[in-house]
Amino acid sequence: MLEEVSKVVKGGKVMRNKKLMLLAVVVMVFVWTSIAQARGHGEGYGRGDRQDGQGPSEEMVQKMEEKLGITEEQSVQLKAHRIEHKEKMKALKNELKEKREALKEELEKGDASESSIQGVASELKNVQSELVDERINGILAVKSILTPEQYEKFKEKTKKNHSRKEKSREKGGPRSRSEE
- The helix (run of H) or strand (run of E) holding residue 59 is helix 58-68
- Cα angle 171-177-180, degrees, rounded to a multiple of 5: 75
**Residue ranges, the chain, pLDDT below 70:** 1-55, 173-180
C-alpha to C-alpha distance for 173 and 171, rounded to whole angstroms: 5
What are the extents of the domains in the chain? 2-40+55-146
| Dihedral angle over CA of 106, 108, 112, 117, nearest 10 | 40
What pTM, to 2 d.p., does this model score?
0.59
Integer-rounded Cα radius of gyration of the chain: 23
- Residues 48-58: tens digit of each pLDDT: 444 455 567 78
Between the CA of residue 67 and those of 45, 98, 102, 105, 151, what are the distances in Å? 24, 39, 45, 48, 12
- Residues 118-138: tens digit of each pLDDT: 999 999 999 999 999 999 999
